[in-house]
Amino acid sequence: MADKVREIFDESGQAIEFREGLEGVVAALSMISSIDGEKGILLYRGIPIEELAAHSTFEETTYFLLNSRLPKQQELRDFEQQLKSHRQVPAAVLDLIRSFPANANAMDLLRTTVSGLGLYDPDSQTNTVEKNIERAINLIASFPTIVAAIQRRRSGKEFVAPQQDLSHAANFLYMVNGEAPSEYAAKVLDVALILHADHGFNASTFTARVVISSLSDMYSAISAAVGSLKGPLHGGANSEVMSTLQEIGSLDKVEEYVMNRLATKQKVMGFGHRVYHTYDPRARILSQFSQKLAQQTGNTKWYEMSRKIEEIMRREVGSKGIYPNVDFYSATVYYYMGLDQDLFTPIFAVSRISGWTAHVIEQLQNNRLFRPRAIYPGPKNVPYVPINDR
Ligand code: CMC
């Protein structure tokens, strides 16, 4: 990849190293998460993701991300209650969702709704830590309600009000489907939410930090982050993975499909990562859930196809460090849970809102405006040609 990191000359003739896509560039010090891309290790504030997936809940992990320490029992109970009490969104925001075109992209709807939500925060321009923590809790609690309402709007159904006696994950599934989920479905989603909650300076988190670094406001930062997450190279990949599986159609067509993609230099969605050059630890956990759900539903086809894609990709490009990322197995996990494919990326946002808000707060604690350079390699002193002479 020599051409993606190369020496160039700036306007004053000075040689500088140029890293396309800011590859490997350290843009900040952050205490929120840490990734060892060679060993495949992800830590949230020092704790391995496997530990959190096995023992924590999304609510506890969120508290941890926002407050830098695990809560004591009463603190966790209070925090869960706080989240529950913020599940309702203003009626005007629900009306806004009702007014949107039913066929619009779900991430576009989410982005616009987050922006709209900011209009109902009378202090939206006040960037104190206390206000931003309050705002973060409100956003984290509101995201499931908003995403579920968007889904129901898109399928022409009436909205389902949040339930106070369900966990964050269970209540989301309840609001989407109109019925309480099984304990297992709620557990699987809870773990998926833990796994997606933060991930260093990924594109959407960096976007949020760049926006807040101008001392803008939390809603501007989060709506921009939603827009960034939407892209198929980032969070949009989980939905693309499902499209890929459907396009391939059956196990016997996998080999031909993958080999053709590689031969024509096209990406296989759900593989590769800027930081991991080995197996993404989140994908490992999600692949186990995908397998279990495949067995439970008796529909093993999508899981078996995914395993086959993985096997061929390992054989062909594993030596280049291209392995499944988080989006690869989350696709079949959500599919087996009966969730609409258009909801896959919004569900990522329902989780990542924890990380985004934690990063916005962290950025403001020691803020300096993000302002990198661009080098202009074009001609200089170009004469201005009057319009009639062109
Ligand atoms: N399939 C086939 N080849 C790949 C893939 C892939 N999925 N990903 C990378 N490569 C190859 C690429 O062709 C290139 O080869 P060469 O050096 O011979 O030209 C090399 O690996 C480096 O690729 P790159 O695109 O320069 O790498 P990057 O660090 O800029 O991109 C990535 C990282 C995630 C954008 C990329 O791997 C990709 O497009 N993957 C598919 C989309 C995807 O799954 N995105 C989810 C990312 S992880 C979770 C998240 O953020 O949501």
Note whether residue 13 is domain-resident: no
322 alpha carbon – ligand 1 mean position (Å):
8
Note whether residue 179 is domain-resident: yes
The CA distance from 246 to 261, in Å, is 15
Q: Which of 143, 157, 85, 141 is nearest to 109 (CA)?
A: 143
194 lines ligand 1 (CB under 6 A): no
The CA distance from 124 to 218, in Å, is 8
Residues in the chain: 390
The alpha-carbon radius of gyration of the chain (Å, integer) is 22
Could you tell me if 325 and 347 lie in one domain? no
Task: State residue 2's pLDDT score.
Answer: 52
Note whether residue 6 is domain-resident: no
271 lines ligand 1 (CB under 6 A): yes
Note whether residue 20 is domain-resident: no
Q: Which DSSP string do the residues of 149-188 spell out, in sequence order?
A: HHHHHHTT-------TTS-HHHHHHHHHHSSPPPHHHHHH
Could you tell me if 248 and 142 lie in one domain? no
Q: What is the CATH number of the domain that holds 360?
A: 1.10.580.10
Note whether residue 372 is domain-resident: no
Could you tell me if 303 and 348 lie in one domain? no
Q: Which of 1, 233, 234, 268 to mutate to test the pocket of ligand 1 (most atoms within 8 A of CB)?
A: 233
Could you tell me if 329 and 219 lie in one domain? no
Could you tell me if 119 and 104 lie in one domain? yes
Are the C-beta atoms of residues 159 and 149 closer than 8 Å to each other?
yes
The CA distance from 368 to 44, in Å, is 24
The atom of ligand 1 lying closest to the CA of 266 is 2
Q: What is the CATH number of the domain that holds 331?
A: 1.10.230.10
Query: Which residue's CA is the closest to the ligand 1 atom numbered 17?
Result: 1
148 lines ligand 1 (CB under 6 A): no
The atom of ligand 1 lying closest to the CA of 265 is 13
Give the total number of structural domains in the chain.
2
Could you tell me if 195 and 69 lie in one domain? yes
Tell me which residues of the chain have a pLDDT lower than 70: 1-2
The range of the structural domain enclosing residue 297 comes to 237-336
Judged on CB neighbours under 10 Å (0-12, 13-18, 19+), 18 is: middle
Query: Which residue's CA is the closest to the ligand 1 atom numbered 19?
Result: 1
Judged on CB neighbours under 10 Å (0-12, 13-18, 19+), 203 is: middle
313 lines ligand 1 (CB under 6 A): no
Could you tell me if 186 and 279 lie in one domain? no
**What is the sign, positive or negative, of the torsion defined by CA atoms of 114, 146, 337, 136?**
positive
Catalytic residues: 234, 273, 327
Could you tell me if 316 and 260 lie in one domain? yes
Could you tell me if 63 and 212 lie in one domain? yes
Note whether residue 14 is domain-resident: no
Query: Which residue's CA is the closest to the ligand 1 atom numbered 23?
Result: 272
Are the C-beta atoms of residues 290 and 336 closer than 8 Å to each other?
yes
Q: Which of 275, 135, 280, 143 is nearest to 201 (CA)?
A: 275
277 lines ligand 1 (CB under 6 A): no
Could you tell me if 80 and 188 lie in one domain? yes
Q: Which of 238, 322, 345, 351 to mutate to test the pocket of ligand 1 (most atoms within 8 A of CB)?
A: 322
The CA distance from 170 to 190, in Å, is 8
234 lines ligand 1 (CB under 6 A): yes
Could you tell me if 220 and 128 lie in one domain? yes
Note whether residue 38 is domain-resident: no
270 alpha carbon – ligand 1 mean position (Å):
9
Are the C-beta atoms of residues 234 and 228 closer than 8 Å to each other?
yes
Could you tell me if 154 and 253 lie in one domain? no
pTM metric for this prediction: 0.97
- Local structure of 234: helix, strand or coil: coil
The CA distance from 175 to 181, in Å, is 10
Note whether residue 186 is domain-resident: yes
